[in-house]
Amino acid sequence: MAKGTGRVTSVDVARHAGVSQTTVSRTFRQDPRVLPNTRKRVLQAADELGYYPNLVARSLITTRSGIIAVTVPDVENPVFTAIITSLHEVLQARNLKMMLFLERNFEQGPHDVLATGLPVDGVIIASANRHSPVVGEIQARRIPALLMQRDVDGVDIDRVMPDNAQGCRAIADHLVSLGHTRIGMITGSPFTSSGSGRHKRFEEALAGHGLAMDSRHVMTSPPTFTDSAEVVERFLDLPDLPTAVFCSSDAIAVSLLDKCRRLGIEVPRDLSVVGFDDIGPAAWTSMNLTTVRQDIASQCEIAVMMLMGRVEGLDHSATAVDSPVELIVRGSTGPPRSVSPGDGAHHRAGAPRPGDDGVSDEDDAG
């Protein structure tokens, strides 16, 4: 044990296993030069002694810590919990560790990842705002980095994003095909590309149909269940409620559907609702939300592959990946009251409408 500390070191493991300290280090680096029987003996000795490798000390020797930092803005929005889960699985499969940072400040972007001074091999940023200076600071320190979900203006960096333009076109096409012309939107933070970007793309998609949203029917909301409640209530209090609304995240849409039920507003007869993300609650019978599905697992696989290429020294121009999305039509959208199915608008036959069967959210969640 290290003198005066009582902490087990690699020297203790080497002595216990009857191998060199170099072999112990190579074992924990997954070095293929270590024979299977030797690796087994070292791991058994480490287990018996209660040894865990010191990642910080290892990074000083190898220049690699095996740690990838991940920043997200919150864990209430299921999109980010899905990202955390998927990234953990992908990184674990590569024998890498994830260091998670919760960054709530949309206006300034991720700071803690720099302030800690801990050695990380790379950073996956899902919490930056459109003008975050911290991304540039990370690049200045020559730390490999990649953006997910939220883009940053004017930086030359790898990024993996859902195809917001494709998703917004699909939503506009769907609502217009049902006969809607008075369409509103509850968008996310104007400081983020997911909020402002989806707003812009949806306006462009509607313009392709010769439509424009009334500014009174466009509101901004934090993309969480709790924080969107006040905005949702203000939207539903509008004296001239539109016939359809696109919520730029499912968290906002679920909050809206819950409030509709409480106020006796029938969905989709009185108001068609569309979300974006396809989080778990969207498919609950009591929500039955029409939404745009993005493949978080695939995005995380691509993100880790791209980032580790940078970590391993690949030098090429920044790569932008727009991950395909898909419109999932459920029961929260239908023709407006003034348009009947016989007039050419369509609604999927037999689709249950939110709340039709009286099933509670808790029952659906299992």
Q: Domain for residue 211, yes or no?
A: yes
* Domain shared by 349 and 209, yes or no: yes
- CATH number of domain containing 126: 3.40.50.2300
124 torsion bin: left (phi>0), alpha (psi -120 to 50), beta (else)? beta
Instruction: Evaluate whether 284 touches 365 at the Cβ level (below 8 Å).
Output: yes
* Domain shared by 117 and 248, yes or no: no
pLDDT at 295 over 90: yes
* Domain shared by 302 and 252, yes or no: no
* Domain shared by 336 and 213, yes or no: yes
Q: Domain for residue 265, yes or no?
A: yes
Rg (CA), the chain: 25
Q: Per residue in 91-108, pLDDT tens? A: 999 989 899 888 765 444
Alpha carbon distance 286, 352 (integer Å): 9
* Domain shared by 332 and 302, yes or no: no
* Domain shared by 238 and 201, yes or no: yes
**112 pLDDT band (50/70/90 cuts)?**
low
Q: Per residue in 125-147, pLDDT tens? A: 988 888 777 788 888 888 899 99
Residue 69 parent element (H or E):
strand 67-72
Compute the average pLDDT of residues 340-352: 39
Chain position carrying tokens 């039709």: 356
Q: Which two structure tokens, joined as six digits, stand for 229?
A: 């409640």
pTM as predicted: 0.75
* Domain shared by 307 and 288, yes or no: no
Q: Domain for residue 34, yes or no?
A: no
Peptide bond into 268 cis (omega under 30): yes
* Domain shared by 109 and 206, yes or no: no
Quote the pLDDT of residue 306: 95
Q: Domain for residue 190, yes or no?
A: yes
* Domain shared by 117 and 182, yes or no: no
Q: Domain for residue 214, yes or no?
A: yes
User: Measured between alpha carbons, how far is residue 290 from residues 12, 124, 247 in Å?
Assistant: 59, 30, 11
Q: Domain for residue 28, yes or no?
A: no
pLDDT at 52 over 60: yes
* Domain shared by 172 and 115, yes or no: no
Least confident of 166-175, 260-269, 287-296, 353-362: 353-362
Sign (positive/negative) of CA torsion 285, 290, 296, 302? positive
Number of domains in the chain: 2
* Domain shared by 96 and 106, yes or no: yes
Q: How many CB atoms lie within 10 A of CB 321?
A: 16
Q: Domain for residue 13, yes or no?
A: no
Q: Is 67 helix (H, G, I), strand (E, B) or coil?
A: strand
For the chain, what percent of residues have pLDDT higher than 90?
54
Q: Domain for residue 216, yes or no?
A: yes
Residue 336 parent element (H or E):
none
Domain that holds residue 267: 164-294+326-360
Q: Per residue in 176-198, pLDDT tens? A: 999 999 999 999 988 888 889 99
Quote the pLDDT of residue 111: 58
* Domain shared by 264 and 142, yes or no: no
